[in-house]
Chain A
Amino acid sequence: MTLAFDLLLALSLLWTAWRTLATPRLDRALVLFIVFGLLMSLAWARLAAPDIGLAEAAIGAGLTGALLLDAYGVLRRRVRP
């Protein structure tokens, strides 16, 4: 059953990564990237590394997501004044 769990988690990671690169709308791609980071922290939990899971959830998903969203908002406002 652990194998099924790992395979399902790995498949959803790959699906999220693919959709992140392939979605036509940029804002949705950013949301999917944050979701990818949160799924990565689940994967770190499965790999028995809770410290990396914490860092990934806080820095990888939270901080990077906030930076990307901020840049997206600024660029968007500049395009349409």
Chain B
Amino acid sequence: MSTGFVFALAGAVLFSLGVAGVVLIGHLLRRILAFNLMGSGAFLVLVGLAQRQDVADPVPQAMVLTGIVVAVAATALALALVRKLHALTGQLGLPGDVDE
């Protein structure tokens, strides 16, 4: 059990937690949080599995660095959409959802 493997395992659990959150939670702000957790899990899997014998592979690290920036941009866009939706319809859930 090396460091990379432990964090890759944690990343896999984190990813499934995030997917469950995105699917099951109706509140849109919380859904954005779950989406971010999902992305963090994927990043951990990428960097953790790329580490062999404690030597880090720089290519997945550069990819993850880009991915973090993209995730922030996606979060900002999603938040702008949620604000607009709330201003137009006054609710914080999508119309097809059952709860909330």
* Alpha-carbon separation in the docked complex, A59 to B64 (Å): 13
How many chain B residues touch A (CB < 8 A): the figure is 44
Q: Which of B3, B9, B18, B87 contacts A2 (CB 8 A)?
A: B3
* Alpha-carbon separation in the docked complex, A33 to B32 (Å): 11
Specify which chain B residues have a CB less than 8 angstroms from the CB of A56 in the assembled complex. Answer: 68
**Interface footprint category on A:** 35 or more
Q: Let me know if B83 and A74 touch, CB within 8 A.
A: yes
List B residues 1-17 near A (Cβ within 8 Å). Answer: 1, 3-4, 6-7, 9-10, 13-14, 17
| A78 contacts partner chain B, Cβ-Cβ < 8 Å | yes
5 closest Cβ pairs, A-B complex: A10-B10, A6-B6, A71-B79, A21-B21, A48-B56
A and B contact pairs by CB, cutoff 8 A, 29 listed: A2-B3, A3-B1, A6-B3, A6-B6, A6-B7, A14-B13, A14-B14, A14-B17, A18-B17, A21-B17, A21-B21, A21-B25, A21-B33, A21-B34, A26-B29, A30-B33, A33-B36, A33-B37, A43-B7, A43-B44, A48-B54, A49-B56, A49-B64, A52-B61, A64-B75, A68-B75, A71-B79, A75-B82, A75-B86
Residues of A within 8 A of B (CB): 2-3, 6-7, 10, 13-14, 17-18, 20-21, 26, 29-30, 33, 36, 40, 43-44, 46-49, 51-52, 55-56, 59-60, 63-64, 67-68, 71-72, 74-75, 78
